[in-house]
Structure 1
Amino acid sequence: MILPSLSLPAKRLAADLMVVLGVVAAGLLSTAAVYSNLREAEALRIYEQRSALAETVLGALDHDSTSTIEAVRGAALMAEMQPAMTRAQFDLYANRLKVAHPTVAALEWQKMEALEGFVFPTNLKEWTHQARPLLDEAQKDARVVGTPIATGAFAAVTPLAEGAKPAVIITVPVYQRNADTDSISRHIGFINALVDVGTLARNAAYQAEAAGNELIVRDRETEGDAPLFTSMGAAAHTPGHDKDGAHRESADYALELNFGSRNWELMLHPKPELLSSGWVHQATFAMVLGLLVTALLTILLTRSQINRRRSETAIAHEQALRDELLAEQYRLKEVVESTGVAIWEYDLVHRFLSVSERWHVVSGYSREELGDNVLASWLSMVHPEDQPRISATFANLANHQGDRFEYEYRMRQKDGQWMWVQSLAHIVARDGNGQPIKVAGINLEVTQQKEAEIRIHALNASLEAQMQEAMARSEARATLGTLIASVSHEMATPMGNSMMTASTLVAQANQFEQQMVAGTLKRSELAQFVGQVQSGNELLLRNLERAVELLKNFRQVAADQASEQRRTFDLQQGLREILDTLAPSLKRQSHRVMLDAPEGIRMDSYPGPLGQVLINLINNAYLHAFEGMEHGEVRISATADETQVTLVCTDNGRGIAPDTLEKMFQPFFSTRIGRGGTGLGMSIVENLVKATLGGTLEVLSTLGHGTTVTITLPRSAPEPRQEEEGA
């Protein structure tokens, strides 16, 4: 850019002002960096101290928790070895265990099969009734996994403290073992231990207190905001440390501990006197000092510049303009070379081709590898099918209307890959007879756009073939015509967007080429052009991927029924395998899927389509029914008679509106169109149940009361229909 005509003193003054501003900016940035580093160093020191303290506190609580659980496990082993112990023997053992592990407030040997159990101490015989629902649930889990399981917290009256305190119960199953093989023969009861949470967390609280922190222990799986243990006053922790952490202070440090398969959260809260702000004084002093130094340097630099301007002689104005022009040309060249545009110039008289450095980067060939005859090297890299068209284009330039033209071709890169190139050319010189003698232009790589066009043509051809095939089928398969029309309608938008984006990119490239030839191209316009090309390519790819997805889903709906595998299988086993396959993706959410199907229901059918039906129903529940819910539940039950099987899939979700329920089996109907839904899920389910599996399907739902899907299937699936000739 050429500066306007200014006097030499004015130019010098502007340059000196820029230097002063640069010094001021550098001083301010340095001061800000020192200030920020001091703050970060102190924050890092505090973080390291908090991390070390957290590990100590967690280790203390983990040690006491592990010791307590192992003590209860040892009591269960003692009960297995001495199932016929007397109350006096149990009381003696429980008393010793309580002395060795003060965290155990009471111990119960709960025998099964109507045998009398023992409780120590006897004055706490009713403590298990306080948490009977929690204990029953924990005992179910303990009997399944065979390991100690802890209940949620409840208020229990323990001999360790006055009044009701938070406590939990650890339960361990007791088995009768075969004396010869040591294998489990039957379950004979449970060892239940009442654990006082305050005593359990006492050592960890001492460690936190010694470091100036308060300790809060909370069960993440228990409803309510009350913690299991806290060393803070109720007025201090209740408003600022509720369960969901919405008001948790930034200085708090949270950890997790597994206690008997329960997730406990440990939170360290520093006391007010621990939150020191000594670093503020150091950072403030450093900032003030930096500002003073910056001001002093600015004053000295200003005085120096004033003295220098007085002693310097004038420089010729013409030379200054020439240097400025050369510098600007050099910067423009760097900007052009740094973009994805390759510039070339071709002398038609001497048949000499020169290219920019970007051309070498794109092709992969260095200047030495191209040799002196760049034209011949370039022609050898052009695809044989495109060479005649390019030669004809340049041969007919004399008859071409206008100075601008463009063409596309394929060029092999050094790595052997073919890339598509769009060349925008301009005739820059003619002889006395008006014949072109020199042409210049730019090359743009348009491989992605061409591949997009090819994919669009392929999709159109595939879609037309599907439509012609569907129109020729019998009336029994006439519903495919609706599917094809829906796909065509859905694909019109992404394909139309793709064509519009491609045409926009071509128009932008033409405008860019005009600016370059006119010599008015600026750095900002180059950057804007590169951004427009990148954005257009991304939009083009997104629309094409959407079109491919629609076509894929359509093919899934219209898949040949005869391709399914038929075999005899156990229904419960088949359903269980499907749920096991879904487990890795379902466990990322808090919802549950429960299966209630008896063994021994043998089916001669298609397990693949049956699995697809079940997967679609579960996915629909997770995607639609449980939206906005934290604890959804899907229950799948199965009953059978001699000839039929009834599958019932029930969820406790939001339910389905009546107008949606009427349309849910229509292809491409979805309440989540535009947010990841294609509207083919329930259409696929209906097609598989009725056409492939030979069954019936019924959906009942009420808003706010969940949804029930009832599927009735024959235990022996019908044979696949054979298409009539000509269909």
Structure 2
Amino acid sequence: MNRKIINAFQKLESLSISRMVSPDAIKNADIAYWRARILFLLLFSGLLISLFVFIPVSILAIKGKIWGLLIFDILVWISGIWLLLSRRLGYQLRAGIVLLLLYGVGLMVIISVGPLSGGPAWLFTFAILVAIFLGTGAAIVALTINALTLATTVWLIKTGVFGHSFPFFSSDANMYAAGASFMMLNALAAISIAVLVRGLVSTHQKEIRLTRALEEKNDELLLSKAKIESEIEERKQTEERLKTSEKRYRFLADNVTDNIWTTDMEMNFTYISPSIKRIRGYSVEEALTHKLEEIMPPSSYEIAVQIMAEELEMHIRGEKPPERPRKIEIELYRKDGSRVWCEVEANFIYDSTGNPNGMIGVTRDITERKQTAEQLLRSEKMATLGDMVAGVAHEISTPLGVGLISASFLSDRAREFEKLCHSGTPSTREIEKYAQKIVDASSMVLPNLERAAELLNSFKNVAVDQVIEEKRRFNVRSNMEDTVNSLRPRYKRTEHVITIECDDHLEINSYPGAFSQITTNLIINSLIHGFEDIPKGTILINIKQKQNTLQYTYQDTGKGMDEKTMSRLFDPFFTTKRNRGGIGLGMHVVHNLITQTLKGRIEVGSSVGIGTRFLITIPMTAR
């Protein structure tokens, strides 16, 4: 039974406090929680005690006909229940009302019975509770109110306004001594309690901060402990995996046919797999002592250093994806003095801060592939020349045919005029008629023969340059126009337009055959792939000099490429027209001519449905 009463009391207490302060204040048990708890106990105990004193007090009030006190007591008791159970009143408002009720009870008792009653005790309690609930400032205000209340009451009694029958002090000295003692005790008690509460608040706040700091520190320590344990376990597992991986890597590196190697940033070899013996004829021990410039010809060394410098510059600018290697084709010296073509794919080794501290690469012997590619390149060149021959032959057949017919006509008219002369003297009219026929026929012969000569000259320039690979100084615009003219038969029956933007006097010292072959392959690639199912396409070729380099921009309005196709565009034997005769060497040849023959660079950009753009940069003077 007692346990049930205690449980009911605790539930009522929790319910009432939860309606006064926030859940955080209850959880942290801060000063607001304790003030609310004191307020609850005050209300609960006051209501409980009032149940035992309410009846006798009511009887005394009725006998003494103190109706105001009776009504006031009833209202105070009802207000206490409301304050205890109200849902909407916060702590501040609830405490304020309770304190006003306490003050009101004290004032009512003094007015009803006089100052020599329990009224001042109520006022004393009022100031103490103000100090507890509202703090020092409010306690001083409450003490001032008490002093004014008592002083006003005494003055009203002494002036005879009311309380003629109230018991009073025997002398003014006794009254002043009692009043001063009351106020001094009230002030000492209220201020002491207010200061004590403030100290408790400060101490509690420090305790809360300290507790939170300790909890945070404890959480950090627990988290650090768990993290360290996890890292230790992960490190153990990583070390085990690393040992296993290293064993596998060593096995693969020692037995793979491609040569695997690593260097530091000074390009000193730190590891070379045993397959170096098959590729270059050197043992691992011998190869480890070689410098980079000792293992390759100057031209290949220049390419390797240039590529490394470009990769480093891209890393510094933050434009190099760490996982993307760079692939080049270079020649290496063999132990017997011969050379071997190799494909080298390499990338940086990065330290824990993301900075390169070495290189790792794979070297592959591509001699057979190179020979095959050269044979295919020669075949493609001959096929291109064959197409050009067929196109030019078809083109010149018309002007030559017209010229032949006109020449035959001239021959017939000459024989007729000869017969006329033998038969007698031709008249002036006959001579004029013959002369007009000669002029008409000649006007047809000359332009058609000139057109045929122009086509043959363009074909001769392109064909000679592509067959004979020699460096010389040549006019860029003339080279471009001859190349485009030689390809005109391939697109003359279409609506495609090729525009060349280039200075008439721009000259470079390079390989005209390679230059022409690049343009030829790019145009053919646009005609076959870019303009497929497109009736009217545009090709714009813009060439200009920029300092010591030539910038060659080729752009078409074709169907474009997706990322997958563009990423493999320059790979050998990659084609999207394999089932229609394509062998996939056209763009690979372009890449090799630019990067190896002309020592330049090519960049490509493309969007599906918009077109493709190539930016080619080559030196004004080929090395």
If the TM-score is normalised by the length of the shorter chain, which range does it land in? under 0.3
From the two aligned structures, give the one with the greater helix fraction: 2
Q: TM-score, normalised by structure 2?
A: 0.28
Return the structure number with greater strand share: 1
- Rg larger for: 2
Higher relative contact order (CA 8 A, sep 6+): 1
Per the normalisation by structure 1, the TM-score is 0.24
